[in-house]
């Protein structure tokens, strides 16, 4: 297998691959916030699976470690 840099001629093939591989959808800002919300969104399950825990920062914000 030969690995080479992507060139402009590859754009159509890359676009086709993305259409077949990914189901893109336009999200509202609220939907995007929910996707990355540590308490309610899918990131909660990922953080739990990774063993991350929530801690308070010196500025009163929460983050996961």
H helix or E strand, kind and range, residue 55: strand 54-56
Contact 38/50 with Cβ under 8 angstroms?
no
Tell which residue, 44, 47, 43, 65, has the closest CA to residue 56: 65
Q: Convert the pLDDT of each residue in 5-37 to its tens digit.
A: 888 888 888 888 777 665 555 667 776 666 666
**pTM confidence score:** 0.30
> Half-sphere exposure of residue 47, counting CA atoms within 13 Å on the CB side?
17
Phi, psi of 14, rounded to the nearest 5 degrees: -65, -45
């Amino acid at each position: 297998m030969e690995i080479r840099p992507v060139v402009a001629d590859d754009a159509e093939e890359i676009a086709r691959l993305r259409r077949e591989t990914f189901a893109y959808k336009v999200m509202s800002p609220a939907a995007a916030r929910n996707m990355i919300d540590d308490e309610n969104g899918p990131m909660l399950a990922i953080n739990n699976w990774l063993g991350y825990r929530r801690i308070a920062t010196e500025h009163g914000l929460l983050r996961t470690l």
